[in-house]
Amino acid sequence: MDQVILVKHSLIDHSLTILRDKKTKTENFRKHASIVSTVLLLEVMKNLHLTNVPIETPLTKTLGKKLKENIIIVPVLRSGLCMIMGLEGLLPAMNVGFIGLARDEKTAQAHEYYKKLPKIFASHLVLLVDPMLATGGSLDESIQMLEKQGAKHIVIVCIVSAPEGLHYITKKFPHILIYTAAIDKKLNDRKFIVPGLGDFGDRYFGTV
């Protein structure tokens, strides 16, 4: 799957181990979720296009560089919020949209309950973030919403992904890249990722 970028980093390996551990408490879970999310998003953004900008330092005139892309980040609620905490320090000018999808525990199907998106143009880079890519159903719905709003360049960012979900999304949307910190073994009969880390949102927000 050429569309899938598995991000390798020592900090990811260390923090992901802590996230997976069922003994990890909420405070520590939040800390290491932020670390993994930041490393992932930095990897996504390292190849952003730049444009030259003339500036003047205290000593002389010179050329600097400025991000060329206009970026919109869209977390899939609620757990997607966990991945953008603190990101305003890296991208203070970014626009943020929200897509709320609830998964039916019996059917594993996602149902929309909230949507609030900024104006999206073809020139925007849209980062669609969701910590867990399981069946791919939630991301499928989200991608369709974003494309209807005008998105042409969407990149998915996940922490843990299941092979089934990756196969589903890459087959249906061959033009979309997926960045992930881990590709796990499989989905179980309840459509949870194995070995996974449990319910990301519950563990992050302390609602276990």
Candidates 21, 104, 202, 207; catalytic one: 202
13 flagged as catalytic: no
Exactly one of 20, 26, 103, 140 is catalytic; which is it?
Answer: 103
Is 103 noted as a catalytic residue in this protein?
yes
- Catalytic residue flag (residue 202): yes
Which DSSP letter does residue 86 get?
T
Of 20, 26, 140, 199, the active-site residue reads 199
β-pair partners for 129: 75, 157
Query: What is the C-alpha separation between 13 and 60, in angstroms, rounded?
Result: 44
Name the catalytic one among 17, 51, 62, 107: 107
Please indicate whether residue 184 is annotated as part of the active site. no
User: Mind telling me the catalytic residues?
Assistant: 103, 107, 199, 202
